[in-house]
Structures are given as structure tokens and as C-alpha cells.
Structure 1
Amino acid sequence: MTATPPPGLPDIDPEIASQLLSDKLGIEVTDWTPQRMVATMPVKGNLQPYGLLHGGANAVLAETVGSIAAALNAPEGRITLGLELSCTHHRAAKSGFVTAVCTPLHAGRSTATYEIVISDEQGKRTCTARLTCILREAVPGGH
């Protein structure tokens, strides 16, 4: 993720921050507002055996931006937890970067659902994902 996380996210324990899957995959959040989150991810290093972007990497990218968006939109005192992720892989990406654009479909008090469109450098849609998060009360002193 970016060196500077979007404002409004909870502080992350430094030990946990050094082990984030999003960092290992090279995901970088490049733009964020409550209505739109954008992130990029390199294809290189995230391949499956046929030399194509791994579908699981798409899922991690989608869940990363959707979860951050849900956290930014969550009511005060609530945390977000992924409930369901669905990914449809439309075409292969073989090189360069993919870009995820996340927009809310529903941002409620107890659930939030986001559409994430992932495209290659030519602007061709490679994956469409939908993430639903549950929003629950934060437990004092922990999650």
C-alpha cells in the first residue's frame, strides 16, 4: 500500500504493517475519496504458471481497495470485515500494471458493498469484482 494511508483508517501495528499481503503483491493506492478508490498492482511477480496475472492476485487487489473504501465510509466506532468477494476474470494481463477502481454500490450502517473494476494499461477490463463487508462495533482495545 502507499506509504501514507488514506486518512480515517485505524492505526496499524508496525509489526503487522510489515507483513501486509498488499505490500508483498506491490499494491499501491493512488487516489481515494469516499466515493472512489484507485490502486495499481504490477503483473510481474503476481503470475500463475501460464505467465498470466494470477486470479488470486486480482482478488487481493479487489479486497484491498474495497476494504479500505468500506473503512473510510464506515460510521464512527465501526470496523469493516470482508463478508463476500466475487471476481469475474474477463481477459488475461501478461505484463505492466493493472488498475483497480472501486466505487460504492451500498454504504450502510451494517453492510457495505463495492464494485471493483480492474483494467490493464490499455484500459481493457480484465476483472470485475464485488465485495461486501460487514460493519460491526469496534471492540475496545482490539478488534
Structure 2
Amino acid sequence: MTQQPGLDGVLGVEHIEAGPDKVVARFTIGEQHLQPFGIPHGGVYCSVHESTASSAAYIWLQERDPESVVVGTNNICDFLRQAKLGDVIDVTATPIQRGRTQQLWRVESHDQDGRLIAQGQVRLANIKPR
């Protein structure tokens, strides 16, 4: 586990780069990421994609409206290539659209050889907590 709170910590995700226009996270495929058949569980990619996009969206939104937060409203993830135990996965979130009420982020997961493993989009709502 890492020092990251919540599910990112359980999954061993570390943030490599964090800014309003891009967030890069990294994790290494371990036993905790595998489904019963011995291959990485697709839900791991979905989860890391959402948290990476959420981090980026939040950083961007805080510069504009420090009282607001972001919440995920849609997460689409395509699994393109199977990673294996020990592979290092870099997850990069970049903006497609950022507006007053919602944001859309592109997220890609590449292995240590630069091969695209999974890709998707995460839509987030900008909200003010009550």
C-alpha cells in the first residue's frame, strides 16, 4: 500500500505528476490486482482512471472555485491489451472539455514499454457541497 488515502492506497497507486492540465499516476500489477483467473481485473483500471481524472479535475476546479468539488458521473473504460504480474502501469488523465458544470477527461494506461493497455473517458460534475 502507498500513503495515498482510500482505494488508491489499497491499489498501490502513486501520483507522479499532478497539475490542472494533466495528472499521471503509477502502480505495479500485483496479486491484489488479479481476478480469479490470474489476469488483472478490469475494475482496477476503471478505478484508477476515475481517481486520476478526478484528481486532475479537482486541481483545475480549485483554481477557479475553491468551494467546489468534483464527482464522477460516467466512466467508460476499454481494455486493449492484457498486462501481467509485475508490469508497471502509468495512467495519464488529460482534459477533453472543462466547463462551469462538468468536465470530460481522457485517460490512458500504458505499460512500462509504452503499450496502450486501457483507455477511456471520465465525466465529472462540478458541484458546491451543501
- Which TM-score applies when normalising by structure 1? 0.82
| Match of residue 12 from structure 1 | none
2:122 maps to which of 119, 122, 131: 131
Q: Higher helix fraction: Structure 1 or Structure 2?
A: 2
Q: How does 1:1-143 map to 2 (within 5 A)?
A: 3=3, 17=5, 20-44=6-30, 45-74=32-61, 75-76=64-65, 77-95=67-85, 96-139=87-130
TM-aligned CA deviation for residue 138 of structure 1: 2.5
SS at match of 1:123: coil
TM-aligned CA deviation for residue 88 of structure 1: 0.3
Query: Would the aligned equivalents of 2:19 and 2:60 in 1 still touch at CA under 8 Å?
Result: no
TM-aligned CA deviation for residue 2 of structure 1: 6.8
TM-aligned CA deviation for residue 129 of structure 1: 1.4
Stretches of 4+ moved more than 6 A in 1?
none
Instruction: Kindly provide the amino acid, as one letter, of the partner of residue 116 in structure 2.
Output: R
State the Cα RMSD in Å: 1.6
- Which TM-score applies when normalising by structure 2? 0.90
Q: What are the superposed Cα offsets for residues 81-117 of structure 1, whole Å, 9 maximum, x if unpaired?
A: 0000000000100022111011000111100010000
Query: Would the aligned equivalents of 2:2 and 2:12 in 1 still touch at CA under 8 Å?
Result: no
Identity %: 25
Instruction: Kindly provide the amino acid, as one letter, of the partner of residue 111 in structure 2.
Output: D
Separation in structure 2 between the aligned mates of residue 119 and residue 70 of structure 1, nearest angstrom? 21
Separation in structure 2 between the aligned mates of residue 104 and residue 48 of structure 1, nearest angstrom? 30
Separation in structure 2 between the aligned mates of residue 52 and residue 122 of structure 1, nearest angstrom? 18
Gaps of 5+ in 1: 6-16
SS at match of 1:138: coil
Separation in structure 1 between the aligned mates of residue 81 and residue 94 of structure 2, nearest angstrom? 21
**CA separation of 1:100 and 1:21: change in aligned 2, threshold 3 A:** same
Gaps of 5+ in 2: none
Equivalenced residue count is 125
